A = this chain, B = another copy of it.
Amino acid sequence: MSLHVDDLLAGRSPFRAGTYRLLQYAVLLVGLAAMATMTMPALQPATRAWLEVCLWAALGFFAAELVAKCWPRTSDDGAPNYLFTGPGLIDALAVLPIPFALLAGVPADTAWLLASLWLLKLAAVVPGLSLLGRVIALEARPLGSVLVIFLIVLLLGSVALYVAERAAQAERFGSLPQSLWWAVTTLTTTGYGDAVPITFAGRLIAGIVMICGLGVFGLWTGILATGFAAEHRRRDFVRNWNLVRRVPFLRDLDPAAVIELTRMLRRIDLAERTVVVRRGRPGDCMYFIAAGEVEVQVEPQPVRLGAGAFFGEISLLEGGPRTATVVTTAPSTLLILEVSDFRAFTALHPDLAQAVEQEAASRAGAGQTTLATGTAGLADNRADK
């Protein structure tokens, strides 16, 4: 059997990476659903048996994946063993604790709860967690400051409320830890309502704590959100920069202009056979193809554009609706330049506008009138929307 695990994992053959990824998600979903159902009271023994089969199957799948990924390769490129990288650790964490817990005599019900660690596998897929970690590392000081403010408000608020309410509601505010619980639910504006002040002084204190809560909350969320946004922008800049360098046309602008343009461009990843622009719709951006291929559906026969080409500029230059429908023929990465940015950019750097116009004209001159985004004839019935 010639099925090669390495190829499988890299998504080259015989299945596509997308298929494998979907299989992973399906196993993850089934496994977690089985784990959650296991905890329901009064299960039929048969159902229970089936759930256990699901769980063992999912565990087996993840174990096989881990073994395949750790298997020593022939080309020793000096990279550390997979087990000791971040994703490897997460994969190991998904597989190993459960059998160990079962062997150690933990009841099956409790041991299988460790399957919740499987969800961490998602963290390796999305860039979110590493970004968040970075934001927390860089904004450690302001976040730490806010945490201290939070703790101070929490403790002073709960002491004050304890003093105010302990006589009136001994069963709810009879000790400081109980009052602290109230303060946490109130400061985070969760407000369960299981412990509520009833005296006048208590309610006054509670009102102040709530308003402080809004402030603390605002600081906390504001710092995280701005840090996260800044990190995403940085990461996008680097990615876009690498993509811009693949478009010959943009690469040759002067460096300051490239920087500015890199900040303006927005990347979009599209699957195969996705409609990018539709004929007759108003056009408010142009596209550069960083990777993949698109088909411009013009008469007499469609034209294909590959990486490095651009399309959609007619609507920008002349302000009309889209003159042709463009569809991706392969998974593609496009860079979008919005009309607002295009105008702002070309006002300061007339080169790009000229280059776009020349390119469009040269295409037309070479008998490739249909290349850009439509026929010359269709470009005429444009209307200012």
Contacts and interface: CB of A to CB of B under 8 A. Distances in A.
Interface of A: 32, 35-36, 38-41, 77-80, 110, 113, 116, 119-120, 122-123, 125-129, 131-132, 137-138, 141-142, 144-146, 148-152, 155-156, 159, 162-163, 170, 174-177, 180-181, 184-186, 188-194, 196, 200, 203, 206-207, 210-211, 213-215, 217-226, 228-229, 232, 234, 237-238, 241-242, 255-256, 258-259, 266, 268, 279-280, 284, 338-341, 343-344, 346-348, 381, 384
Contact of A222 (B190, B226, B266, B339): B226
Contact of A162 (B113, B132, B142, B340): B113
B228 A142 contact: yes
A225 B214 contact: no
Given A138-B266, A218-B225, A259-B343, A145 B159 contact: no
A237 B80 contact: no
A225 B226 CA distance: 9
Contacts of A222: 218, 221-222, 224-226, 228-229
Number of copies: 4
Given A129-B145, A344-B259, A184 B207 contact: yes
Contacts of A79: 280
B119 A152 contact: yes
19 contacts: A35-B176, A36-B180, A41-B174, A110-B163, A119-B151, A122-B151, A123-B149, A125-B148, A126-B141, A126-B145, A189-B191, A191-B193, A214-B220, A214-B221, A219-B228, A222-B229, A242-B384, A259-B343, A259-B347
A343 B186 CA distance: 44
A215 to B, nearest CB: 5
Nearest to A171: B41
A155 B123 CA distance: 13
Given A159-B113, A189-B190, A343 B119 contact: no
Nearest to A128: B145
Contact of A152 (B110, B122, B174, B193): B122
